[in-house]
Amino acid sequence: MLGARGMSSLTQSSSRKLIGIALILLLIVLWSALVAAMARFVGHWPVLVQALFYLVMGLIWIVPLKPLVRWMQTGRFRDGSAPPR
C-alpha cells in the first residue's frame, strides 16, 4: 500500500502530466495557427523555399518539448546531472 507521502507524490505527478499534456496541445494549436497565418505570404515564394520553410517550421515546435517533458516526469525543467559551476 502507498503511504501518505507516496500518494501525494503520485497526485503531483499526475497533475504535472495533465498540465503538461494541456500545454503541449496549446503549443501545437498556437504554432499551427502562426504557420497558417503566414501561409498567405509563404505561398508567393518559390516551391523549394516553401518546402524548406514548412520543414523547418514543422520541426522547430519540438524544441520546447524536451524541457516540458522532463518537467512532466521529474518536476524540474533542467537536467540535474550537469556538474555545478
Cα R_g (the chain), whole angstroms: 19
Q: pLDDT digits over 6-24, tens only?
A: 556 666 778 899 999 999 9
pLDDT of residue 79: 72
pLDDT of residue 28: 94
Q: pLDDT digits over 25-67, tens only?
A: 999 999 999 999 999 999 999 999 999 999 999 999 899 888 8
